[in-house]
């Protein structure tokens, strides 16, 4: 029998489109930027799916550009007729102090 570990921890920024809350689930994208070997900044976008306590409407109140830590698992999700991979977040933590006050009041 083969065992595997499906766990991921990411630190990135809420995408410019923000997060949206619908039917008890928050969805959106996380921007992950890193310097490539050519010293240029390369940005990847990872789709997020957040439910439960962490997926409450407060999560969708995070403003675009907020630095967050996301812990969760890679999961398949069917979108129309295609399957895609998303990060099913179990924990979402705000790391950006400049948005802390704004987030706390929502």
Q: Per-residue pLDDT tens for 65-82?
A: 999 999 999 999 888 899
Q: Which domains does the chain have, with CATH numbers?
A: 8-97 (2.40.50.140)
Distance of CA 75 to the CA centre of its chain: 13
pLDDT over threshold 60, residue 29: yes
Beta bridge partners of 50: 26, 89
- For residues 57 and 17, what is the distance between their CA atoms, to the nearest angstrom? 16
Q: How far is CA 79 from CA 35, 48, 85, in A?
A: 31, 13, 10
Overall residue count recorded for the chain in this entry: 106
* Position with higher pLDDT, 51 vs 95: 95
> pTM score, two decimals?
0.79
In this structure, the dihedral spanned by the alpha carbons of residues 18, 61, 65 and 34, taken in order and rounded to 10 degrees, is -70
- For residues 58 and 11, what is the distance between their CA atoms, to the nearest angstrom? 19
């Amino acid at each position: 029998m083969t065992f595997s570990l499906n766990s991921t921890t990411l630190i990135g920024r809420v995408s410019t489109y923000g997060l949206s809350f619908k039917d008890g689930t928050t969805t959106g994208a996380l921007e992950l930027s890193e310097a490539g070997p050519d010293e240029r900044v390369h940005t990847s976008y990872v789709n997020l799916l957040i439910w439960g306590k962490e997926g409450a409407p407060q999560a969708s109140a995070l403003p675009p550009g907020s630095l967050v830590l996301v812990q969760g698992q890679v999961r398949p999700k069917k979108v129309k007729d295609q399957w895609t991979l998303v990060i099913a977040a179990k924990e979402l933590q705000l790391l950006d102090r400049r948005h802390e006050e704004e987030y706390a009041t929502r």
